[in-house]
Each structure stands twice: as structure tokens, then as C-alpha cells.
């Protein structure tokens, strides 16, 4: 197989529409693989563009970089991901999307019920309590499952 063409950090930045500093940051955080040129500059396989795109999409969905790193860990670091690699990842991701849709749908129904019923006691009905308190009880060692449970992991709480 032909060796993969390597590109500069500026190239990745332009192609993904981001600042160079962000690409460098992701590289330092181990979210994207890179090697060094003889002079010390970073060199990336072209496939990193796709990886960065995925990161951006996942972030938009509410995933933290730590979560995304876990998701991406199923991709190979030493070789360019094949279609099968991405397909496997996308299956997992797809399940998460479906879970989010389901959660939003149920939130919508609850909200309509709560306002509609006249009780006005948002704090006591299923809306907030049942979903989130359960997630908060997790043992702590279940990253992806916790994602599915809490659905919108945007919380910055400790």
C-alpha cells in the first residue's frame, strides 16, 4: 500500500476550518495522531481531517473531549482507519444519537403533561428528577453508559 501523504498543521486547520492553535491543542491532548519532521514540525496523515470533523460533530452533540477520546479510541492509531473502522464507530455513535432523540421526545411529552395538567409542580414530576438523579447515582466507572443515561452531559458539576 502506498504510504499515506503527510500534511502540515496549517493544512489540517484550513481544511477543517479551525485555528492552528486548536489543532495543536488536540494533538497535544492525544485526540489526533501526529509524527514529527526532521526539523521538529508536526506532520499529520490526511485522515486526521476526518478525525477532527468527527470531534467537532461530537462536541456539537454535547460530548466532552474526554468522552470523545474514548469514542475515538476504537480507531487505530498506527494506521489510517478503514471504512470498517469508521462504520463500527458510527454504529456506537448512532446509538447515542437515538438515545438522545428518545430522551428529548420524552422530555417534550413530560413538559406538555406538566404544564397541561395544571399542577405546575415541575420540581416534583418526572421531568427533572427521575432522569437525572438516577444518572447521578452511577458508580463512576461507566463512561459510555453514563453518557447514554444522562443524555446531555453538558453539566460542569463535579
Least distance in angstroms from the C-beta of 124 to DNA: 20
The residues near 34 (Cβ < 8 Å, ≥ 6 apart) are: 27, 42, 43, 44, 48
Q: Binders of a second copy among 8-67, rule CB under 8 A? A: 15-17, 49-50, 52-54, 56-57, 59-62
Look-up: residue for cell 502506498? 2
Measured from the CB atom, the residue of 16 and 34 that comes closer to a second copy is 16
The residues near 73 (Cβ < 8 Å, ≥ 6 apart) are: none
From the list 19-27, 82-90, 129-137, 141-149, the region that binds DNA by CB under 7 A is 19-27
- 42: partner contacted, choices a second copy, DNA, none (Cβ within 5-8 A by kind): DNA
- 5: partner contacted, choices DNA, a second copy, none (Cβ within 5-8 A by kind): none
Neighbour tally for 49: CB within 10 Å = 17
Residue 104 interacting with a second copy (CB under 8 A): yes
Sheet holding 42-45, edge to edge: 6-7, 42-45, 35-36
Neighbour tally for 44: CB within 10 Å = 23
Q: Binders of a second copy among 119-158, rule CB under 8 A? A: 120-123, 127-129, 132-133, 150-152, 154-155
H or E segment to which residue 152 belongs: none
C-alpha cell read off for 33: 495522531
Residues that bind DNA (CB under 7 A): 8-11, 13, 18-22, 24-25, 37-42, 59, 64-66, 155-158
Amino acid at each position: 500500500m502506498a504510504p499515506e501523504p503527510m500534511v502540515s498543521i496549517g493544512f489540517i486547520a484550513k481544511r477543517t476550518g479551525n485555528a492552528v492553535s486548536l489543532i495543536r491543542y488536540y494533538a497535544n491532548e492525544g485526540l489526533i495522531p501526529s509524527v514529527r519532521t526532521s526539523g521538529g514540525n508536526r506532520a499529520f496523515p490526511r485522515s486526521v481531517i476526518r478525525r477532527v470533523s468527527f470531534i467537532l460533530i461530537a462536541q456539537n452533540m454535547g460530548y466532552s473531549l474526554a468522552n470523545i477520546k474514548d469514542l475515538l479510541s476504537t480507531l487505530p492509531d498506527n494506521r489510517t482507519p478503514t471504512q470498517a473502522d469508521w462504520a463500527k464507530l458510527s454504529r456506537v455513535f448512532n446509538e447515542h444519537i437515538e438515545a438522545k432523540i428518545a430522551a428529548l421526545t420524552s422530555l417534550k411529552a413530560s413538559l406538555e403533561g406538566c404544564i397541561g395538567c395544571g399542577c405546575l409542580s415541575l420540581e416534583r414530576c418526572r421531568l427533572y428528577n427521575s432522569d437525572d438523579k438516577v444518572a447521578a447515582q452511577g458508580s463512576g466507572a461507566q463512561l459510555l453508559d453514563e453518557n447514554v443515561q444522562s443524555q446531555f452531559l453538558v453539566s460542569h458539576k463535579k
